């Protein structure tokens, strides 16, 4: 078994890489373009890390502004491990953010926001587009109707979690950043413009 990068730092944040599985197959994703590299980190996983391995990769949550679940996979696909890890981080006084595709309720077939709200301080949801056509072109969802599911999740999230942001990547063909921002206003969440290939 080779050494895996389960946690990595960027700026003042610690990032956790708990899965490489996704519900989406984003055309812009480095892993679908032959790379698992983020900054100087190789995020390729050769096995699914267990809770002990993930916790062992976190030195001291208080050293960081926040601990962010974000790798080349969707963290809510490992909901139990995500919640147990987040509970550990909170018990050590850390702040937790989850970067998500916003499809957890669709995948788990229930509203998981009450569970997330127990240990998660902030959610960053990848809205990625102002409409379904542009979303489907770039994100290539495996589940039909995913864009509406992301909208529904984003609208519901602030009822459970105070700090909710939705993001879109500037520079992707057809993505209208101003229209994404307007959509977020209607959904009642903050908007953050992201830059292609920059993690955060």
- Residues at the contact surface with ligand SF4, assessed by CB under 6 A: 22, 24-26, 29, 31, 72-74, 101
Nearer to ligand SF4, 72 or 153 (CB): 72
Residue closest to ligand SF4 when measured from CB atoms: 29
Is the CA virtual torsion 154, 156, 157, 158 positive or negative?
positive
Nearer to ligand SF4, 172 or 187 (CB): 172
Is the CA virtual torsion 93, 117, 125, 5 positive or negative?
positive
The least distance separating ligand SF4 from the CB of residue 94, rounded to whole angstroms, comes to: 23
- Which residues on neighbouring strands pair with residue 163, listed in sequence order? 122
Nearer to ligand SF4, 16 or 22 (CB): 22
3-state secondary structure of 97: strand
The least distance separating ligand SF4 from the CB of residue 136, rounded to whole angstroms, comes to: 13
The least distance separating ligand SF4 from the CB of residue 100, rounded to whole angstroms, comes to: 9
Nearer to ligand SF4, 88 or 100 (CB): 100
């Amino acid at each position: 078994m080779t050494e895996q990068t389960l946690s990595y730092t960027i700026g003042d944040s610690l990032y956790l890489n708990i899965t490489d599985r996704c519900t989406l197959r984003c055309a812009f994703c480095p892993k679908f373009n032959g790379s698992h590299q983020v900054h100087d980190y190789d995020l390729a996983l050769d096995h699914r890390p267990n809770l002990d391995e993930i916790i062992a990769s976190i030195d001291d949550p208080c050293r960081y502004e926040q601990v962010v679940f974000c790798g080349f996979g969707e963290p809510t696909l490992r909901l139990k491990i995500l919640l147990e890890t987040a509970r550990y981080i909170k018990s050590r006084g850390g702040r937790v953010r989850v970067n998500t595709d916003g499809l957890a309720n669709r995948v788990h077939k229930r509203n998981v926001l009450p569970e997330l709200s127990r240990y998660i301080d902030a959610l960053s949801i990848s809205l990625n587009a102002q409409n379904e056509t542009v979303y489907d072109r770039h994100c290539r969802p495996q589940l039909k109707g995913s864009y509406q599911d992301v909208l529904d999740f984003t609208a519901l999230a602030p009822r459970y979690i105070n700090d909710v942001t939705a993001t879109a990547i500037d520079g992707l063909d057809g993505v209208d950043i101003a229209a994404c921002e307007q959509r977020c206003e209607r959904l009642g969440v903050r908007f953050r413009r992201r830059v292609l290939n920059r993690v955060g």
